[in-house]
Structure 1
């Protein structure tokens, strides 16, 4: 009988073994010097890590425990650790922009991707998100990734096998267009979660609605506001999904040094938007959130309605205009003009103010 938190030795989670124990040949290792600079290397028997300040032999690391501190040929100290997933994603070979760790974490949590879930994704890129999804679904789950370009699929496969120490039993990757392939290869209503990282996710409405189970989650990763808006409006118009929600996350690190505790000058700000919705039961029309009616196109009538008051600006009263005119009159260049010219300018402003006020009774 196993205690809570333990795993049978004969069936460890896939990839767990390569994350434990001493360093092995072929592993990626992160070296950090005394100034905090990081370098990621792949351990090779007989290899060496060279800098302008000497070199460090790989053989000195192979067989050492994680967390070892070594000295290179010129006395420079290096701390050796296995890269965390976030480190690996940012340093791994890539053919396309990666989904940043902050967004991958949001996708896993907000889409409720759990061990054993059946997930499909499109837009594999370099495999960064695929790694997080495979960790979430586990060996008993299922991840089917679709990628149009063979080069990207090869890069993703290499990165996935690097971090898991070989092919993952829950992963299947298919070359081709998501809309066409997913309905051919997945049974209707058999998928728990759909994750799309592509230019036009609104084109996949029918395919997603076909394979996604009732209550299943569809989450989209898009880069621009126009993509976000078009996807949301397409989902609303379709009627087979719940009202979509959208957000973005920003991560700001902090500088910690004695009493000098302050936000970092740089941060990981906008990387992409996440938009999430859920599949309704077949034949059910979703509830429409009550909100002000809006149009995506402008008519002449709409343009005429764009007055300062309509867009929230406060109307400036005649009284305020007169007061401002008087203030302007009293501050004409602060005496920079000759007296007679300044008086003429004041008279002009006074005449304008009287025209606004209208005739006065004597």
Structure 2
């Protein structure tokens, strides 16, 4: 591989040309079961139908069919990014491709964007963010757990072939790290274009991030439960420096099509997470209040969320 080709791989993660030892390949059997295999010279992929020699693949093109000793045929292709993320080694749950695609669009991640991500998890979403920002952008990922950060680094470097120049991984808490940057000798993270939060309590980061997010910038939280969704939405509303939050989830349903048998497949990927997003207002401005009448009881005696501490929350009770 030439120096130019190696640079292209580091920036995009896309490899072309003959398969090489040290890269991954996906072997798909006749039942559409996929196996992620790291190619090693002299290695063998063992199956119940016999082994497949890695040397049959190394040096050849992708898109070929190899046969195990027992006679089972396997289609060999380099994994696409969406395949890589769902088969990568992991310490934490990954952001599924269907959600990663929505995050890139909802945040409007663009080449050259300055993006903050917390937490990094296993690095699945990080790969998508790095590809989207390109060589002129920057992704700064925060992860509190050392084992998660180490796994994320391994996965990202495995996909891109090396540590991407546009990526910085910080082991530690996002808010604490931002507060530490306020010292006299610190270089604070300013002019952030986009923020993606994949963490237990994203509402705890709103105040600190609001000070650094550019006007018009996007803050998006990826949460798993309705209680997290509600707390994040209410926190953004109470803050006042963001537009009305938007909440959504994406359900992906594949279809079976064979002759006259056309129907939804039974292995639908249902709920994985909710997306909550809002845009930063300019300093000194508040978004016009959304004209809506809360449902009866929405802010009743049992409500203990952020809005309960505001005059608006008190007047909205009942």
What TM-score comes out, normalization by structure 1 length? 0.77
Name 2:49's counterpart in structure 1. Answer: 53
**Mapped contact 2:12–2:131 kept (Cα < 8 A):** no
Q: Deviations over 1:246-273 (max 9, x none)?
A: 1000000000212211111121111010
Aligned pairs for 1:139-288 (under 5 A) are 139-183=135-179, 184=181, 187=188, 189-288=190-289
**Mapped contact 1:15–1:163 kept (Cα < 8 A):** no
Q: How many pairs does the alignment contain?
A: 293
**Mapped contact 1:13–1:138 kept (Cα < 8 A):** no
**Mapped contact 1:99–1:129 kept (Cα < 8 A):** yes
**Mapped contact 1:224–1:273 kept (Cα < 8 A):** yes
**Matched residue of 2:35: which SS?**
strand
Cα 1:282–1:188 shift into 2, 3 Å = farther
CA distance in 2, matches of 1:258, 1:111: 40
CA distance in 2, matches of 1:253, 1:296: 37
Cα 1:237–1:99 shift into 2, 3 Å = same
Shift of 1:298: 2.6
* Structure 2: gaps of 5 or more residues: 303-318
**Matched residue of 1:115: which SS?**
coil
**Matched residue of 2:300: which SS?**
coil
Q: Deviations over 1:163-198 (max 9, x none)?
A: 101110100010111112134176465100010011
CA distance in 2, matches of 1:79, 1:15: 27
Match of 1:74 among 70, 86, 89: 70
* Structure 1: gaps of 5 or more residues: 1-7, 301-362
Shift of 1:227: 0.7
Question: Is 1:298 matched up with 2:284?
Answer: no
Cα 1:79–1:299 shift into 2, 3 Å = closer
CA distance in 2, matches of 1:19, 1:88: 13
